[in-house]
Amino acid sequence: MTDLVKLFLDSLTVEKGLSRNTVLSYGADLEKYIFFLKKKKISSFLSVGRRDVMDFLLQEKDRNLEPASLARGLVAIRMFHRFLVDEGKVSENATDSLESPKLWKKLPECLTLPEVERLLKSPNARIAQGMRDQAVLELMYATGLRASEVTTLKVSSLDFQGGVLRVMGKGFKERVVPMGRKSQECVTRYLSKARAEWLKSKTEPVSWLFITQQRKPMSRQTVWAILKKHAKNSGIRKKVYPHILRHSFATHLLENGADLRVVQELLGHADIVTTQIYTHMDKSRLKGIHQKFHPRP
């Protein structure tokens, strides 16, 4: 097996004209690959299948290698198996249709439903600031808006009669998102009491939906501070950040049977591949449930 690797590396230098450092890197990746195959008692590339290649990559992933390093390793293995086919050493390429590890992104953290419930109940809705904080959190979880989208919402963005809001997302693309009954109630209370109180002495109209007590538009940093404050108050130990409510919104929708294309539209993703990461999260959850409860996991 090592002789074939040497022939392949020589061809990279002579025929492909790759640099010495690139060839050395590919050689190191293939050396680990061969060692792995030998540990599996595989002594011929004729016996290597797609599953063996995947097992090797997953082993490397478990070693906490960066996706870029994994991707480079897969490039080396792909080129090597293509070389074996071209040389007539094997009839099929075991790396056909393998997903690039560049797509193996770290799954985003999300809150459980009980954690979301505690978070949304944390603000003191009897005071003005608490009304605003509750409206912000409820709306973010109900709509999956980004923090930047929340801070640029205007009162005119809301359509209470239709129960939706219009939001300008990335690339200046507008989308319409349902608000949900509870978030509408919280936003209505905030508008009629807290916001109205803060703007009582201001003569010029203010178009921004969420403002500070100083009657200025709320910043993304303020959104982050609101989330961190109430996550701490509600006993959530996870590292929280504004996007965690967006991740939770998408994950909980899919867990309850929502269509992936609908979630894509609600999130404002241009490419459904971006939305598919949430299906990976759901699969992980299902796998954990299966292992925990199945009599023969």
Given the residues 154, 189, 243, 285, select the one marked as catalytic.
243
Contacts of range 157-165, beta carbons closer than 8 Å, 24 or more positions apart: 157/209, 158/187, 158/209, 160/184, 160/188
Given the residues 50, 269, 280, 285, select the one marked as catalytic.
269
d(CA 18, CA 177): 51
Distances (CA, A) of 268 to 18, 167, 296, 297: 41, 9, 41, 38
Given the residues 105, 121, 170, 238, select the one marked as catalytic.
170
Residue 278 annotated as catalytic: yes
Residue 261 annotated as catalytic: no
Residue 5 identity (one-letter amino acid): V
Q: Tokens 């940093």 appear where? A: 221
Residue 269 annotated as catalytic: yes
d(CA 1, CA 83): 13
Residue 81 annotated as catalytic: no
Given the residues 72, 146, 195, 252, select the one marked as catalytic.
146
> What is residue 206's DSSP assignment?
-
Given the residues 132, 246, 247, 252, select the one marked as catalytic.
246
Sign of the four-CA dihedral 70, 72, 76, 81: positive
Catalytic residues: 146, 170, 243, 246, 269, 278
